[in-house]
Amino acid sequence: MNSQIKISTVIVTLVSAILVYSSFILGDSENYLFPRLISATIAILTIMLWFEKGEADKSTNFKDLMPGIAIASAFILLLKILGFYLASMIVFFTLVMYYTKPTESKDFWRVLLIKLGVAFVFTFALYGLFTLLLKVHTPEGLF
């Protein structure tokens, strides 16, 4: 078993243990009958997972992935403060600016203006579609 498989198996075991604990210890027998059946089966399969000869897990390119997750997480947290459209425009611009290919134009200001323009047009199109046309609620924020 390689180290990546070991880590994922340990995580699955921990999740299974939490499920078994919350179904059998925290819950009463009447309301937790079905979760108990499922979590017990999960526990048995988790034990079997330790003996499975698995293939190596796919490696993760954290260097390129984590900034994206951080920007998107900030967007989710900012939704309630800035509202959907303002937060969307900011996350759109930030993500496309951060993820720039080396082959793109070297003229920083030109790239910045184009991406800002696309972010604005995209957000405005979302506003037109969701709020004006479909009349659907979006997170409003404080402003």
Partner 1 sequence: MEFLNYFDNVFTVYHIALLVGGTFAGIILGALPGLSPTMSVALLIPFTFHMKPESGLILLGAMYTATVAGGAISAILVNVPGAPANIATALDGHKMAQNGKAKNALHYCFISSFVGGIFGVFILIFFTPPLAALSLKFMSTEMFWVAILGITIIATLDSKSVIKGLLSGLFGLMLATIGEHPTNAVERFVFTDHLESGVHIVVGLIGLFAMPQVWNLLENFYAKKNRVFSATGDATLIQSFKLVFSKLKALSIGSIIGSIIGIIPGAGGQIAGIVAYDQSKKVSSNRENYGKGEPEAIIAAESANNSMVGPSLIPLLTLSIPGSPTAAVLLGGLLIHGIFPGHDIFTKNPEVIWTFIDSLIIAQILMLIIGLFLSRHSKWIMKVPDNYMAVGILLLAVFGTYSIQNNYSDVLIMFTLGTLMYFGSKAGFSPVPVVLGLILGTMTEEKFLLGNLIGNAKGSSFQHFTSGTINIVLISLCIASIVYGVYSSRKSKKIKA
Q: Which positions touch partner 1 (CB under 8 A)?
A: 4-5, 8, 11-12, 15, 19, 22, 27, 31-35, 37-39, 41-42, 45-46, 48-49, 52-55, 57-61, 64-65, 68-69, 72-73, 75-76, 79-80, 84, 88, 91-92, 95-96, 99-101, 118, 122, 126, 130, 134, 136-139
Q: What is the dihedral of CA 122, 123, 124, 127, to 10 degrees?
A: 130
In angstroms, give the least distance from the CB of 65 to partner 1. Answer: 4
In angstroms, give the least distance from the CB of 109 to partner 1. Answer: 19
In angstroms, give the least distance from the CB of 97 to partner 1. Answer: 9
Closer to partner 1 by Cβ: residue 17 or 35: 35
**Distance (Å, whole) CA 94 – CA 69:** 12
In angstroms, give the least distance from the CB of 71 to partner 1. Answer: 9
Closer to partner 1 by Cβ: residue 17 or 32: 32
Closer to partner 1 by Cβ: residue 17 or 96: 96
For residue 87, give Cα distances in angstroms to 80, 122, 131, 136: 9, 13, 15, 17
Q: Which of 75, 87, 71 is nearest to 142 (CA)?
A: 87
Closer to partner 1 by Cβ: residue 37 or 107: 37
Closer to partner 1 by Cβ: residue 68 or 128: 68
Token representation of residue 22: 């919350």
Q: Which residues contact 41 (CB under 8 A, 6 or more apart)?
A: none
Exposure of 131 by Cβ count < 10 A (0-12 exposed, 13-18 middle, 19+ buried)?
middle
